[in-house]
Amino acid sequence: MSAHDSSTHDGSKDVVVHTSDTLPERFSNPGHPEHHLRRSDQDPRANKRAELQVVVLFLISVIGTIGFLVAYFTVTPAGTPSSIRNSNLLLGLGLFFGLMGIGLAAVHWAKSLMNDHEKSEERHELRSPEPVRAQAVEVIQEGVADSAIGRRGILKGAMVSALALFPLSIAVPLIGNIGGNWNVSTLKHTMWKKGTRLTIDPTGRPVKASDLTIGSVFHIIPDGLDKTADPMEEKAKAIVLLIRLDPRDLKIAPDREGWSYDGIIAYSKICTHVGCPVALYEQQTHHLLCPCHQSTFDVADGAKVVFGPAKRPLPQLPITVDSEGYLVAQSDFHEPVGPSFWERLK
Amino acid sequence: MTTTDSAFPGPVDYLDQRTGLGSAIKTFARKIFPDHWSFLLGEIALYSFVVLLISGVFLAMFFVPSMNETVYHGAWASMQGVTMSEAFKSTLDLSFEVRGGLLMRQIHHWAALIFMAAIVTHMMRVFFTGAFRKPREVNWVVGFVLMILGLAAGFSGYSLPDDVLSGNGLRIADGVTLSLPIIGSYMSYFIFGGQFPGTQLIPRLFTVHVLLVPGLILALVGLHLFFVVLHKHTQYPGSGRTDKNVVGFPLFPIYVAKAGGFFFIVFGVIALMAALFTINPVWDYGPFDPSPVSAGAQPDWYMLFLEGALRLTPGQLEVVIAGFTIPLNVIIPAMIVPGLLFTALAAYPFIEAYATGDKREHHVLDRPRNAPVRTASGVALLTTFLVLILAGSNDIIATQFQLSINDITSVFRVLLFVGPAVAFWITKRACLALQRKDRELVLHGHETGSIVRFASGEYIEVHKPLNEHERWLRVGYEAHRPIAIAPAEDSRGVRRKGYRRDRLRQRVSQFFYEDRVEPVTPTELAAAQSHGAHDAIAQAPDALPQVESQPVGGGQHLVTPNAQVTPDERNL
């Protein structure tokens, strides 16, 4: 089929190039090149020198290990950065010399002192010879005949069923438990509800509208977060960025009238791409940038995506002030926060 | 049998009678392995894995894989009184209060980076020299799986300290998991034992990291090396080396010393890096908290391509169909792109075998130039990864070079498609050019710099012919030709079955082998030497044989030199 099976790599006869008529189609392998002696093979002094070098390298290793032990017992890391750095440096250097000495000594020994005559070994094709293959088929056939499986359909079926089913006893309890309560609908809700105060992350101090000047940004968690059963999980969904803009800069969508308070606006801090906290705010452009994948959201315009791999705007938390002047949520977010998933709109 | 008349001393005799040790020694002790620096890349991978095992056992003695909260009152001043998980606290403790612990942690992390780098470069060596050809296709796949397991080991270990940087990496992993259609939210619960971050993940990752993945890696490393011994190592082309022999040095003592010594060198270099260069200073990042994040965050280098793919894919790709959300802006970069790239890599030996139709065993490696399309494909694949890796650092590039992040991202979006195509074309042309340079050298020999003037006044430079070893290196390869197929219709005009399948195969084969440079043949060399007559100065230049006027071979003639080759053959 293919046009290249005529040539082989092997062949030992030398080709005389200049004779005409009988030139072969291809060159053939000229055979092993001549062996060249090293200096240490010819000059006893060079040989002796190489041996000495190997000895010195091994000694460097011994000194390195001793140095490591000395450093271990004498240099105490006392909690300060410099003492920890010194301890790490000296132990590391001791280990380095201890290892490198052995390594270089062994390689130098092999390269300069050990016999360096190349040897050649035959390879054998991996394929089993045809008679062996025939025998293999024969023994399998014998075994199949001995087992008497060939004629017994119902036995085969029963065996396959039993083998296929038994892993269920391991898989079912594993799958049943591994996902916790498997209640994935909790992904769609956060702990924000009507009247929950906005508090500073991480101190939990409630925020008044007057605390924010134009252009300032607060990282917000819901009041009572640390009293919940799973604060980490709640926090991972509920974190909010609170920003105050000049109300004239703010473009408010008709269905979000009254969600902000005097230019103070709250967005989910979880990126709608794959969920990193969106934490870089640029005051001049009102842009929020996710440091993980650079999705950029326009805070002044409903946190719509202006660049990057996210599709959806950051969900907005409707806020107002309570009777004491503290900022509170009007409700939970009106859509699931964070990365997209299959049933998020269902 | 008594021990007194045996060649073995007592203890060896004892073992031999129970294990057959003698036969093993006889078979393996003087087994021949070829020598080349590039064969050390796989050794670096193996040795850094051993270093990972040693340092990993050390760390496991002190690490507490728990997400229970605790308050830090240890040696590191800046973390005093901070609430953190026990995993993070034990990481600080084993760094600052276990003497040598920080060194071991740094060794472990550096070794992991080197492990992946060595795997990747080893894979490149195997790819570009064609070492994956029959009978080693299966071992290529084993190695490929080892690379994937290396990624799994790296990612699971990277996340264990429960610091804020790796925590955000896990948050991204969760976001990617959630993007899976239908099962996404369930898969996320499967991994985290409920909602992110939960309290299960670190213990689970710990089991994956110290038991499951290393167990699989160990088993597959064993299989990988078993195949190396079974197949015997490949060797670079050269005089005396054929597909039927293996030329090199015996395992004992040469490789016991060289490879054994190399383990200590690899370990030594890793120890030096751990002594001098800080890696993953989690005490600067702080414990995981879902809220804070730092700018310029980067994953370890082997995950950067995924990060880059996520950064490049525009958000508009997210769609909602019948109320169900399909975030293609995540699915494509995080699953489809790596899926395609890795599948192409794993399947390459089989694709090339399909195009070549070659069923023989190959033990002599190819020089990369002698397989232009393979080399070009490899470079194109690497270029794809390189663009993705750079894209994964686009924020760093932006801050370091004062460029707009938006512009950088847009450029990379274009480069992702253009870069590999250009790289393919340039590499293929470069390979063909190098092959022609080889032909030129074989046909005309080395320039000697000595100029001779003929009686007629003509000047020529004397060229020194290559010796047979130099020549063999340049002519001892095989230029595959596109496979020939039977015509679509037989002599009576009846269309045969299977023609379309054969035609597809021929097309693939033509893509691989249509452009090629054949090695110099003895006839060509004889013709070149007689026409040039540079070495036989006595010959008058006007008495040249007829053959000279034919475009035989010279590097500058872009033709397949042998005019009598098969009719199906195409020229460049």
Both tokens assigned to A278:
């969106």
- Would you say residue A173 lies in a domain? no
Q: Return left, alpha or beta for B3; rule: phi > 0 is left, psi -120 to 50 is alpha, else beta.
A: alpha
> At residue B459, what is the residue type?
Y
- The 10s digit of each residue's pLDDT in B501-531 is 999 999 999 999 999 999 999 999 999 887 6
Do the Cβ atoms of A233 and B312 come within 8 Å? no
From residue B161, alpha-carbon distances to A97, A320, B73, B281, B292 in Å are: 30, 40, 17, 11, 17
Q: Which of A68, A90, A112 lies at the terminal end of a domain, its last residue?
A: A112
Instruction: Tell me the average pLDDT across B231-244.
Output: 95
For Cα atoms B104, B109, B110, give the angle at the middle one, nearest 5 degrees: 95
pLDDT tens string B191-224 = 999 999 999 999 999 999 999 999 999 999 999 9
Distance from CA of A246 to the nearest CA of B (A): 26
Digit-coded pLDDT (tens) for A267-282 = 999 999 999 999 889 9
- Are B215 and B66 in a shared domain? yes
Nearest CA in chain B to A64: B268
Answer yes or no: is B354 within a domain: no
Report helix, strand or coil for B246.
strand
Percent of chain B with pLDDT strictly greater than 90: 84
User: What is the per-residue DSSP string for B154-204?
Assistant: HHHHHHTT-BHHHHHHHHHHHHHHHTSTTTHHHHHHHHHTSSSSTTTHHHH
CA–CA dist A208, B223 (Å, integer): 66
pLDDT greater than 50 at residue B234 = yes
Q: How far is B403 from chain A (nearest CA, A)?
A: 14
Residue B438: phi and psi, rounded to 5, are -60, -45
The CA radius of gyration of chain A, in Å to the nearest whole number, is 38
Residue B411 falls inside a structural domain: no
Instruction: Specify if A198 maps to a domain.
Output: yes
Selected residue of A95, A288, A295 to mutate for chain B interface (largest B Cβ count, 10 A): A95
Q: What is the pLDDT of residue B57?
A: 98
Across chain A, how many H-helices and E-strands are there?
Answer: 7, 12
Q: What is the CATH number of the domain that holds A292?
A: 2.102.10.10
The model's confidence at residue B498, banded by pLDDT at 50, 70 and 90, is: confident
- CATH number of the domain within which B80 lies: 1.20.810.10
User: Is A276–B258 a contact, with Cβ atoms under 8 angstroms apart?
Assistant: no
Q: Two tokens at B29? A: 């002790």
| A265 within 8 A of A217, measured Cβ to Cβ | no
- Nearest by CB to residue A178, choosing from B135, B193, B526, is B193
How much is the CA Rg of chain B, to the nearest whole Å?
30
Q: Residue B460 pLDDT more than 50?
A: yes
For residues B76 and B57, what is the distance between their CA atoms, to the nearest angstrom?
A: 24
Query: 3-state class of B38 per DSSP?
Result: helix
- What does the alpha-carbon distance between residue B406 and residue B316 come to, in Å, rounded to a whole number? 16
Q: Looking at the partner chain, which of A3, A95, A274 has a beta carbon nearest the beta carbon of B175?
A: A274
CA distance B479 to chain A (A): 8
| Residue B380 · residue B344 · CB < 8 Å | no
Would residue A175 count as lying in a domain? no
pLDDT, one tens digit per residue, over A115-163 is 999 999 999 989 999 999 999 999 999 999 998 887 788 999 999 999 9
Span A326-332, average pLDDT: 96
Check: CB of residue A296 under 8 Å from CB of residue A307.
yes
Cα separation, B561 vs B570, whole angstroms: 11
- The reply to whether B192 falls in a domain is yes
Give how many domains chain A has, as a whole number: 2
Instruction: State both tokens at B387.
Output: 């663009």
- Residue A19's pLDDT band (cuts 50, 70, 90): very low
Question: Helix, strand, coil % (nearest 5) of chain A?
Answer: 40, 15, 45
Phi first, then psi: give them for residue A30, nearest 5 degrees: -75, 0
- C-alpha pair distances (Å), B261 with each of A14, B36, B45, B306, B467: 40, 16, 15, 36, 36
Instruction: State the complex-level ipTM.
Output: 0.90
Distance from CA of A24 to the nearest CA of B (A): 7
Domain count, chain B: 2
| pLDDT, mean over chain B | 90
Q: What is the mean pLDDT of residues B396-406?
A: 94
Q: What is the DSSP string of A272-332?
A: TTT--B--EEETTTTEEE-TTT--EEEGGGTTEEEESS--SPPPEEPEEE-TTSBEEESSS
Structural domain including B486 reads 443-549
pLDDT of res. A21: 63
Q: What does the pLDDT average to over B240-257? A: 95
Domain limits for position A82: 39-112
Average pLDDT for residues B124-137, to the nearest whole number? 97
**A15: pLDDT strictly greater than 70:** no
Q: How confident is the model at residue B541 (pLDDT cuts 50, 70, 90)?
A: very low
Q: What is the pLDDT of residues B139-176, one digit of tens each?
A: 999 999 999 999 999 999 999 999 999 999 999 999 99
Q: For residue B178, which phi and psi values (nearest 5 degrees)?
A: -60, -25
- If pLDDT is split at 50, 70 and 90, which confidence band does A202 have? confident
Which of A112, A142, A173 is the endpoint of a domain?
A112
Q: What is the pLDDT of residue A78?
A: 81
Picking from A77-81, A198-202, B243-247, B318-322, which range would have the lowest pLDDT averaged per residue?
A77-81
pLDDT confidence band for B563 (50 / 70 / 90): very low
pLDDT computed for residue B532 by the predictor: 53
Distance separating alpha carbons of residues B11 and B7, to the nearest angstrom: 12
Query: What is the pLDDT, as a whole number, of residue B544?
Result: 37
Instruction: Answer whether residue A331 shows pLDDT above 60.
Output: yes
3-state secondary structure of B490: coil
Determine which helix (DSSP H) or strand (DSSP E) holds B448, and give its type and residue range: strand B446-453
β-strand partners of B446: B464
Cβ separation B292–A279 shorter than 8 A: yes
Q: Is the pLDDT of residue A16 over 90?
A: no
Read off the tokens for B536. 């036989």
Does residue A337 belong to any structural domain of this protein?
A: no
Instruction: Evaluate whether residue A268 is within a structural domain.
Output: yes
What is the per-residue pLDDT for B123?
A: 98
User: Is B571's pLDDT higher than 60?
Assistant: no
Single pTM value for the model = 0.91
pLDDT at A14 over 70: no
Is residue A7 situated within a structural domain? no
Residue B223, number of CB atoms within 10 A of its CB: 16
Which site among B263, B293, B566 would you substitute to test the A interface, given the most A Cβ atoms closer than 10 Å to its Cβ?
B293
